[in-house]
Amino acid sequence: MALNFDFFKTKDSEICIKNYILNKTKYTFQFSILIIALLFFVMLNISLGSVSIPFKEVFMILTGNDVTSNFKFIILNLRVPKALTAIMVGSGLSVSGLLMQTLFRNPLAGPFVLGISSGASLGVAILILGSSLFGFSAFAVSNYSTAIASSFGAFSVLLAVMIVAQKVKNTMSILIIGLMFGSLTTAIISILAYFSSAEELQQYMFWSFGNLGNLSWNELTLFFIVYIIAISSIIFIIKPLNSLLLGENYAQSLGVNIKKTRNITLFITAMLTGVITAFSGPIAFVGLAVPHLAKLVFNSSNHKTLLPATAIIGAIVMLFSDIIAQLPNSAFTLPINAITSFFGAPIVIWLLIRKSKIVL
Amino acid sequence: MTKILHIENLSIGYTSKKKETLVAKQINVSINKPKLIALIGINGIGKSTLLRTISKVQPYLKGKIAIFGKNIDDYKATEFSKKISLVLTEKIPSSNLTVYEVIALGRQVYTNWIGTLSSNDKDIIKEAASIVNINHVLHDKIDELSDGQYQKVMIARALAQDTDIILLDEPTAHLDIINKVEIFKLLKDLVVNKNKTIIISSHELQLAIQTANDLWLMNKNSFIQGSKEKLIANNEIQKIFTSNNITFNKKTNQFLFDY
């Protein structure tokens, strides 16, 4: 009889509860490690660069105790904005990736796959490469105009995907449609590139390498506002996200409004990807890979754990990549876009071989 | 007394653009007290469509469906999910979710905006797990379970959702005979002990006929329902098979197959 509650079963469930509590404390441990790592990498990121600044000095300047240091300008106007950019870019892209993977219930999904990043690239390509073609070379290509062009591109593609999404019920089709939009924009960029001058091409290439260190405090403030709006919108979908892990039918039977959840998720992703690509170029890899790193480290699919974990790991990955890209103590800076993939891809491959399974 | 479920002149099917595909029509049925109902019919006859329609996953074409005297269209989504829960054939997407987390999702409709489980929620989850006897795997990953355990977890999840009606769409499709018997027995216990109304579509005719109180028989042109004793006496069960190779023996309550 199923309703029997004999002694052994009670004992079993007690063990289970103990395991559960153990798991919880384990997460606090993992989160503490992550936060310490994040703080460490922030300090390291600020102190390393073409000029190496000792930790002690960095600490003194950040706490406002050393007002006479020669390094003050470098730290406050170059390194701190760059570190903050890295944190927002890394966490924003990673969280977008996680949202996409859950929404499409596909571990391959990410901001790039939906064509949103390609849309942003298209916007910038039209601005930089198309300037001579369409004759608006009079417009100076500044940080702001790139940002506007990129956001515009990201939102146009997103809008197109969302309009199609209203007609198509199957989320897998939306994913493929996103990929098609991506191909389409890449094709247009190639055509634009064919007709543009070497100088414009170079300018576009440099943008596409990605750059974290380009932002003034004003631009950073704008970036921060959009970032905060997008990230805090997640509270509207935090509950539906977990039920979506059961598939659309179960989620719906739990009272989840699928369409609304889908639209909010797409909107958040577009905002984050749009603004990030706008200010720091199309940064690949992070959005797809970091959620999987988080899932492997925390061995969980629960968004209450995964969302903060993904955000922190994303920030660490970006700070770390930026340190490498700066080639400490040299005047060279490598493309950040290359570094994220160069160091990140082998790590993900190694983790997957070890764990041998990729899940949502 | 308000009826648990009341279906009147229902037509089910799909609508796309201008075309309307009718799957079944003239469905009339009422449920007045908790019982186990087996929905029986051949593949493609519309069993899943009917269950999907009752659970509001897809709209109906014509007629009326009322739950506790209220039309299903008048329910808010969250209110409705406190009345009907689902167990489906399809497996959930591969994830790191634990058994506990999956069952806990059944409580979601009752929890606050961030989904914090109260101690009451936790008690209900534990009770649901012990009813289906899966306490020992409560913290295993859902992906690591056997098919039998998996389906029990999904039933526990439906129990945690605490609804009066549970719809199950071929939950025993991939299971061996031991698990099939166990699931049917479990469902029967739920009707008796927990006052649940359970509608299960199944191809396990023998088991369904043995355990169910009522049968809903879907044929190509008709929908017949009633207590199994009545349907057996009236030779209705025979009619769901268009093939002459299967016959139903009224005396032994068994199917006979001609080879």
pLDDT in tens, chain A (360 residues): 344 444 344 445 555 554 554 455 568 888 999 999 999 999 999 988 878 888 888 888 888 776 677 788 888 888 999 999 999 999 999 999 999 889 888 787 777 777 778 888 888 888 888 776 666 654 556 777 887 888 788 878 877 877 877 777 676 777 788 888 888 888 999 998 888 888 888 888 888 888 888 788 988 999 999 999 999 999 889 889 999 999 888 999 999 998 889 889 888 988 888 889 888 888 878 888 899 889 888 888 889 899 999 999 999 999 999 999 988 777 788 888 889 888 778 877 887 777 666 676
The one-letter code for the residue type at B121 is D
Distance CA B193, CA B114 (A): 33
Angstroms from B136 CA to nearest CA on chain A: 6
Report if residue A35 sits inside a domain. Answer: yes
Q: What is the pLDDT of residue B83?
A: 95
Report if residue A241 sits inside a domain. Answer: yes
* ipTM of the shown complex: 0.91
Chain A, nearest residue to B97 by Cα: A301
User: Which two tokens mark B116?
Assistant: 């914090």
Report if residue A192 sits inside a domain. Answer: no
Distance CA B167, CA B170 (A): 10
Report if residue A319 sits inside a domain. Answer: yes
Q: What is the pLDDT of residue A197?
A: 86
Angstroms from A8 CA to nearest CA on chain B: 10
Interface test with A, best of B67, B123, B130, B161 (most A CBs within 10 A): B130
Question: By the CB < 8 Å criterion, does B2 face chain A?
Answer: no
Interface test with A, best of B16, B53, B105 (most A CBs within 10 A): B105
Distance CA B111, CA A300 (A): 20
Q: What is the pLDDT of residue B187?
A: 95
Nearest to B105 among A16, A235, A242 (CB): A242
Question: By the CB < 8 Å criterion, does A252 face chain B?
Answer: yes
Angstroms from A209 CA to nearest CA on chain B: 34
Nearest to A299 among B96, B100, B113 (CB): B96
Report if residue A119 sits inside a domain. Answer: no
Domain count of the fold of chain A: 1
* pLDDT lower than 70: segments of chain B: 1, 242-243
Q: Using a CB-CB distance cutoff of 8 angstroms, which residues of chain B are in contact with residue A300?
A: 96
Question: By the CB < 8 Å criterion, does B117 face chain A?
Answer: no
Q: What is the pLDDT of residue B165?
A: 96
The H or E element that residue A223 is part of is: helix A217-232
Q: Using a CB-CB distance cutoff of 8 angstroms, which residues of chain B are in contact with residue A23?
A: 139
pTM higher than 0.80 for the full model?
yes
Angstroms from A337 CA to nearest CA on chain B: 29
Lookup result for tokens 């310490």 = A36
Report if residue A34 sits inside a domain. Answer: yes
| A262-301 residues touching B, CB cutoff 8 A | 295, 299-301
- Asked whether the beta carbons of residue B101 and residue A302 sit closer than 8 angstroms, the reply is yes
Report if residue A73 sits inside a domain. Answer: yes
Query: Could you tell me if A68 and A77 are in contact, meaning their C-beta atoms sit under 8 angstroms apart?
Result: no
Task: Indicate which CATH number applies to the domain containing A72.
Answer: 1.10.3470.10
Report if residue A267 sits inside a domain. Answer: no
Neighbours of A187 (CB within 10 A): 12
Host domain of residue A92: 8-102+216-245+287-355
Lookup result for tokens 């029986």 = B40
Q: What is the pLDDT of residue B154?
A: 95
What confidence tens digit (pLDDT) does each residue in B9-19 have? 999 998 877 78
The H or E element that residue A355 is part of is: helix A336-355
Interface test with A, best of B51, B84, B96 (most A CBs within 10 A): B96
DSSP string, A264-275: HHHHHHHHHHHH
Angstroms from A180 CA to nearest CA on chain B: 24
Question: By the CB < 8 Å criterion, does A243 face chain B?
Answer: yes
Distance CA B21, CA A283 (A): 47
